[in-house]
Amino acid sequence: MSESYIRNVIEAALLAAGGPLPVAELMRLFDEGVRPATQAIRAALESLATEYAGRGIELKETASGFRIQIRPELAAEISRLWPERAARYSRALLETLALIAYRQPVTRAEIEAVRGVAVNPNIIRTMIERNWVRVVGHRDVPGHPELLGTTREFLDYFGLKSLDELPPLAELKAMGDLTLQLALAGDTPPPLPEPLPPPADADSGAAEDPGEEDELSAEGGASAELVAGPRALDG
């Protein structure tokens, strides 16, 4: 089996797949008797990545595997193929998502202590419905509050291989003008400052600013845009 054939099969599979493909799944594309070794699969992936250098597409490894996607610098032009308005999210949702990503596992009360306002339940529900956040356990304190953490889908959505690729907090804008672009750096983020002691009642924090939108918005307005990783190529 030639190297070019292996590369062509992998390229076709990545173009046809609806999401990232891990190496193990790429290996199953070939008959068992002539199945290439893991090293050969990775060599073909490296060859594809080199071949795409300087072109409009790139090979990207995320938490779930490899995918072929549009280069970030071309996203604005290519987005004109989809005339619908880009998804926009409220500042409150983005702040909450950032705190979960950098401090996980974290409770809702701890998020509220850092932000200084109560977390609208709709925000947590929206992130769970989008499979960005999940309950990973319960804190061993009275009431056993839920511990929240990010998911593999969160990493895939932002084009990250692991949480180590989150950009350092110093590179993020102030929370009041937050625009998440998480496919940037590869340094391990420094910890956030220690939170204030959580309130005795998890729901006793200040109310969320009524001027902030709490869920997915099609109108922009006071919301901040969540910039996703480059759109993957569909088959």
Residue 154 sits in a domain whose CATH number is: 1.10.10.10
In terms of Cα–Cα distance, which of 193, 203, 212, 231 is closest to 68?
A: 231
Q: Which two tokens stand for residue 235?
A: 């088959």
Q: pLDDT band for 53, please (50, 70, 90 cuts).
A: very high
What is the chain's Cα-based Rg?
A: 21
Question: Does residue 27 lie in a domain region?
Answer: yes
Based on the domain organization, do 31 and 112 belong to the same domain?
A: no
Based on the domain organization, do 109 and 59 belong to the same domain?
A: no
221 pLDDT exceeds 90? Answer: no
Q: pLDDT band for 183, please (50, 70, 90 cuts).
A: very low
**pLDDT on residue 150:** 94
Q: Residue 170 in 3-state DSSP? A: helix
H, E, C per residue of 88-146: EECHHHHHHHHHHHHHCCECHHHHHHHHCCCCCHHHHHHHHHCCCEEEEEECCCCCCCE
- Tell me: the pLDDT tens digits for 121-144? 999 999 999 999 999 999 988 989
Higher-confidence residue of 157 and 48: namely 48
187 pLDDT exceeds 60? Answer: no
Among candidate residues 80, 100, 118, the one where a domain is terminated:
80
- Is the peptide bond preceding residue 105 cis, with omega within 30 degrees of 0? yes
Average pLDDT over residues 47-66: 93
Based on the domain organization, do 136 and 212 belong to the same domain?
A: yes
Q: d(Cα 34, Cα 117) in Å, to the nearest integer?
A: 60
Residue with the two structure tokens 């250098």:
53
222 pLDDT exceeds 80? Answer: no
Among candidate residues 80, 113, 133, the one where a domain is terminated:
80
Question: Does residue 116 lie in a domain region?
Answer: yes
Question: Does residue 231 lie in a domain region?
Answer: no
Question: Does residue 230 lie in a domain region?
Answer: no
Range of the domain at 11: 3-80
Based on the domain organization, do 105 and 28 belong to the same domain?
A: no
Q: pLDDT band for 164, please (50, 70, 90 cuts).
A: confident
Among candidate residues 80, 115, 137, the one where a domain is terminated:
80
- Model pTM score: 0.60
Based on the domain organization, do 31 and 92 belong to the same domain?
A: no
